[in-house]
A and B are shown apart, each in its own frame.
Chain A
Amino acid sequence: MSKEEIDKEMKELLKQAIAPARNTELPRDLWPQMLARIEEQPEPPYKVPWFDWALAVILSAVLIFFPGSIPALLYHL
């Protein structure tokens, strides 16, 4: 028997072993659960990405240690 024939037979076997789901009707309204989930897990406050913090730290360090760069920075703004 070729591999293709075995594969075809395998698909048939699978269909016979695992039947399609029958009861796919939702038994109840899930909105109360959803609402409880929203209430118990409030969204976290807006988070500043770590990269933005790193940029701010680097910029502050440059301004503190090299104050001479301030006019140059203002000139390029």
Chain B
Amino acid sequence: MELLERFAADDLEAFEVLFRQHQREVYAWIVRIVRDTGIAEDLTVETFWRIYKYRARFKPDGNFRAWARRIATNAALDHLRHARRETALPENLLCAASSDSAVRGEQRESIRKAFYELPAKYRLVATLALVEEETYSDIARAVGISESLVKVRVFRAVRMLRKNLTSLRVEVSVK
């Protein structure tokens, strides 16, 4: 019997094999959304717990990787919805800001603050599309919405970000 068939048929060993095969990829996806290594580890376990719980719904001829990513995205989105908005970005996940960066520290902080004020579903797509530069089609598959809706959400996220910055009285200028 194939691995996915055994998994769907309640075989714990098959689940362990799948877990070990996919845990790194699921973790890497989640950490890019939540931007916290500790939380990403917990959410990776939560993702696989959901996978295990709903294994009977999985069709063995389906795409396990895509299914896992979809569940991981939902778990990360649930976290963004419930977590405090002003979660600080851990330094180990950030690229070191170059000294000649066009954006001043204060302005950068304001942008981050405004970004974390965005509703979770907009922050999710904006993080993946604008920060992580994932393709719209990959985001659409992971979130379970159409590509055009991803574009709409990114557009709205940028508009909301601009509005938030205006309310924080931050001047929008790269130079």
Contact = CB atoms under 8 A, between A and B. Distances in A.
A34 B45 contact: yes
Given A15-B130, A34-B45, A38-B52, A10 B162 contact: yes
7 closest residue pairs by CB, A with B:
A19-B95, A17-B111, A24-B28, A16-B103, A17-B108, A26-B27, A21-B93
The number of chain B residues touching the other chain, given as a range, is: 35 or more
Interface of B: 12, 16, 19-20, 23-24, 27-28, 31-32, 35, 37, 41, 44-45, 48-49, 52-53, 89, 92-95, 97, 101-103, 107-109, 111-112, 115, 126-127, 130-133, 155, 158-159, 161-162, 165, 172-174
A76 interface: no
A26 B28 contact: yes
Contacts, number: 112
A52 B45 CA distance: 33
Contacts of A10: 158, 161-162, 165, 172
A31 B48 CA distance: 10
The number of chain A residues touching the other chain, given as a range, is: 20 to 34
Interface of A: 6-7, 9-27, 29-31, 33-34, 37-38, 41, 43
